[in-house]
């Protein structure tokens, strides 16, 4: 892997992962998948990162998924099944992840965006589960996450036809949260990331846990889990700081303790 195929930077508690193969539509190789798996675990351990932005270099493509030209590098179908899955690597990040989608998010690129907690897109973004056109289906979330986000019918249409959705259609069906012009996207994403990074990282990570539980648990179990996380937050120094700041009419200074 070229060391520049994945760029990672941290600034003001915001980690930015950039897929940097614009000439290849920011497709992902096996080596890049292995690096992402390592990087995401580093992010989980790093207290200096509270929010992650995931994007692709340039305006043409967020990511077109796996690089088909080197797909055989994974070996047998069994080896492919047991690969370092770059989408699951993003899913393993405990901090909030914002997908900044510019251009194509196709196949594994769509699944990368699906693993994020928030998706913000430029008006030139296009979304598609295109694997069906090549003789297979997505293996990292398209048939499982899409129905939960856009409904069973829209998910079936996307997966079974491979049709690309425009940014506006993706917004209407709930696949993305906001759509802006390309020159406004970065400002919107980093303003959102900065707002989240200013909050207690313990509260934020517990909020992410509770939100993910809502997609997996029955309602009564989810409510109990939420209440337990809520109670745990009150054992932290950050909660005490929040209460003190409210009483003193000042901005809280959260330390993640």
Residue 190 contacts residue 14 (beta carbons within 8 Å): yes
Look at the block and give the residue holding tokens 């055989």. Answer: 72
Q: What whole-number distance in Å separates Cα of residue 165 and Cα of residue 88?
A: 23
Q: What whole-number distance in Å separates Cα of residue 119 and Cα of residue 171?
A: 10
Residue 100 contacts residue 53 (beta carbons within 8 Å): yes
Which of 70, 48, 42, 53 is closest to 17 using CA atoms?
A: 53
Dig out the tokens for 154 from the structure.
């829209």
For 50, residues 6+ apart whose C-beta sits below 8 A from its C-beta are 13, 14, 95, 96, 196, 197, 201, 204, 256
CA dihedral of 158, 128, 116, 93, whole degrees rounded to 10: 100
Dig out the tokens for 128 from the structure.
């598609």
Tell me which residues are annotated as active site.
111, 131
Residue 16, φ and ψ in degrees, nearest 5 = -115, 120
Q: What whole-number distance in Å separates Cα of residue 8 and Cα of residue 4?
A: 9
Q: What whole-number distance in Å separates Cα of residue 17 and Cα of residue 39?
A: 9
Residue 217, φ and ψ in degrees, nearest 5 = -105, 150
């Amino acid at each position: 892997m070229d060391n520049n195929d994945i760029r990672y930077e941290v600034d003001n508690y915001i980690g930015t992962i950039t897929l940097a193969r614009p000439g290849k539509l920011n497709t992902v190789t096996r080596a890049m998948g292995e690096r992402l798996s390592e990087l995401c675990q580093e992010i989980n351990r790093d207290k200096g990162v509270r929010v992650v932005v995931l994007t692709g270099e340039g305006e043409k493509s967020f990511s077109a998924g796996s690089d088909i030209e080197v797909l055989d590098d994974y070996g047998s179908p069994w080896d492919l099944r047991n690969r370092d899955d770059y989408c699951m690597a993003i899913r393993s990040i405990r901090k909030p992840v914002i997908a900044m989608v510019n251009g194509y998010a196709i196949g594994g690129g769509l699944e990368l965006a699906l693993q994020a907690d928030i998706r913000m897109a430029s008006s030139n973004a296009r979304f598609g589960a295109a694997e069906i056109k090549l003789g297979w289906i997505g293996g990292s979330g398209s048939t499982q996450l899409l129905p939960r986000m856009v409904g069973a019918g829209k998910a079936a249409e996307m997966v079974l036809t491979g049709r690309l959705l425009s940014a506006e259609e993706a917004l209407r069906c709930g696949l993305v949260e906001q759509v802006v012009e390309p020159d406004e996207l970065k400002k919107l994403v980093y303003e959102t990331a900065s707002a989240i990074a200013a909050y207690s990282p313990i509260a934020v990570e517990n909020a992410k846990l509770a939100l993910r539980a809502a997609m997996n648990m029955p309602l009564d179990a989810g409510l109990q889990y939420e209440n337990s996380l809520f109670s745990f937050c009150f054992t932290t120094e950050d909660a005490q700081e929040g209460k003190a700041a409210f009483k003193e009419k000042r901005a809280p200074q959260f330390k993640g303790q």
